[in-house]
Amino acid sequence: MTIGLTQGILTDEMYKKIITTDHISKKQTLYFSLTDSANNRAGAYCISQFNAKDFNIGNNPNSVLNLLLDVSGKSGQSSSLYYVLLVNVGTQERWELLLDNQASQLSQGYEGYLVKSKDEYYIVKPVNRIKTKKGKVGTMPFGSAGYQITNKEGKPLAAVSLMDKGVVYLTDLNQEEKLLLATALAALLLQEVIG
C-alpha cells in the first residue's frame, strides 16, 4: 500500500504519484502556501524524518530528487531526510528541496539542494557562525543557527535564522525568485513543527 500526495484517478494511466512513501505518518507532513504582493502563490508539500529508500517522487525513478540522491551518494543512507516539493501555482513550475538533517548538523561542509533541473538549482548551507551579544563572531561546534541559500556560483541570496522565533532574510531578487526562496525558507523554518 502506498500513501501520499497524488493527482488523478487511480485506475487512469495519467494518474500521478506526486509524493508517496510506504512508511509515513501524518505528523511527518505539512502543506502550506504563500502569496506575494502581486497575488502570485506558491505551495509547499513537506515531509520530514523519512528514509530515502522508502520514498518516491512521481512515477519516474529518474526524478531530479532521485538522481540527486544517487549522485550525492546519500540514497537510502539517512533516516532523517527533509523533502519539500515547491509548486508555483500560476505556472505549475516545480522545485524540489532536499536536506539531510543528520549531515547538516554534524558536517561543517554539508550542502543541501533546491533543484528544478540539472542546470537550475540553489545550494542550501547550514549556518554555524553566530554573533554574540558582545559583537564577537564564533563558530558553533555542532548544529546550526539557520540556513543560507546561494546560487550555484555560491552568491548568497537568502537566509533563515532558526534562533528564537526565526527570521527570513532576502536580497534584492525578482518577484518570482523572491516567492520561491521565501517559500523554501519558510519550509525550513516550519520543519521544527513537524520534525
| Domain ranges across the chain | 3-194
Q: What are phi and psi of 69, to 5 degrees?
A: -60, -40
Q: Convert the pLDDT of each residue in 177-188 to its tens digit.
A: 999 999 999 999
Q: Convert the pLDDT of each residue in 128-167 to its tens digit.
A: 777 667 777 766 666 678 899 999 999 999 999 888 788 8
pTM of the predicted structure, to 2 decimals? 0.75
Q: Which residues, listed in sequence order, are joined to residue 83 by a DSSP beta bridge? A: 47, 98
